């Protein structure tokens, strides 16, 4: 199964104010269910806030990507692995 993680991260980087899972699905062509499942394990994304959804007056998450600096130090146990 092909991972959608890079595609999802890329679209979120292009939209720094964040996107809902439905918006990510519409922009990437990835099924809504796959986006929802992938967001659980994509590195560096988190829920920034909740907004009122279009349907049923429920809340929906707005996802953003973490801005990790290039020179961010890694913990010793990761840095020393070879």
Q: Please report how many Cα atoms fall inside a 13 Å half-sphere around the Cα of residue 1, on the Cβ side.
A: 6
Q: Work out how many domains the chain is built from and give that number.
A: 1
- Provide the pLDDT confidence category of residue 41 given band limits of 50, 70 and 90: confident
Q: What are phi and psi of 51, to 5 degrees?
A: -130, 165
More confident residue, 79 or 32: 32
Q: In the prediction, which pLDDT does 73 show?
A: 75
The CATH number for 31's domain is 1.10.10.10
Q: In the prediction, which pLDDT does 57 show?
A: 77
- Provide the pLDDT confidence category of residue 1 given band limits of 50, 70 and 90: very low
Rg (CA), the chain: 15
Find the distance separating the first CA and the last CA of the chain, reported in whole Å. 28
Task: DSSP letter for 65, please.
Answer: E
Neighbours of 16 (CB within 10 A): 10
Domain housing 24:
5-79
pLDDT digits (tens, 9 = 90+) for 51-80: 998 777 789 999 999 877 777 776 766 555
Distance CA 52, CA 2 (A): 31
């Amino acid at each position: 199964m092909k991972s959608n993680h890079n595609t999802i991260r890329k679209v979120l980087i292009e939209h720094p104010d964040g996107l809902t899972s439905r918006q990510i699905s519409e922009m990437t062509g990835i099924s809504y269910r796959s986006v929802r499942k992938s967001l659980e394990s994509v590195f560096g994304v988190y829920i920034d806030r909740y907004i009122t959804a279009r349907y049923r007056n429920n809340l929906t998450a707005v996802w953003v990507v973490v801005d990790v600096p290039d020179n961010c130090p890694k913990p010793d146990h990761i840095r020393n692995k070879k």
